């Protein structure tokens, strides 16, 4: 059986991972998702963010900086 392989930019990131990378709490990331600062989707009952959407969020925070996620 072949597993579904998503392009790297579509790979889901968990809230905990994003919180760690940003140096904030899970709750802060959830608030940013609820306010639609960060786009997310539900996948298998979990709220996740695609790498592409996380990169877009980082780009808004720092338009002049390079984004490497």
Beta strand 12-14 with 41-43 is: unpaired
Q: Would residue 32 count as lying in a domain? A: yes
Question: Does residue 57 or residue 67 have the better pLDDT?
Answer: 57
State how many domains the chain has: 1
CA dihedral 13, 18, 20, 23 (to 10 degrees): 170
The reported pTM is: 0.79
Question: Does residue 32 or residue 8 have the better pLDDT?
Answer: 32
User: What is the percent of the chain where pLDDT is above 70?
Assistant: 84
pLDDT at 6: 61
Q: Would residue 1 count as lying in a domain? A: no
Q: Would residue 39 count as lying in a domain? A: yes
Q: Would residue 68 count as lying in a domain? A: no
Mean pLDDT, residues 33-43: 95
> Which CATH number do you get for residue 35?
1.10.1660.10
Query: The sheet that has 12-14: what strands, in order across it?
Result: 12-14, 46-50, 41-43
Find tokens 């979990």 and name the residue. Answer: 46
Structural domain of 37: 11-61
């Amino acid at each position: 059986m072949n597993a579904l392989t998503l392009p790297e930019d579509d790979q889901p990131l968990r809230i905990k991972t994003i919180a760690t990378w940003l140096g904030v709490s899970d709750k802060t990331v959830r608030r940013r998702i609820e306010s639609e600062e960060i786009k997310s989707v539900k996948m298998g009952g979990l709220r996740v963010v695609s790498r592409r959407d996380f990169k877009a969020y980082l780009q808004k925070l720092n338009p002049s900086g390079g984004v490497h996620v």
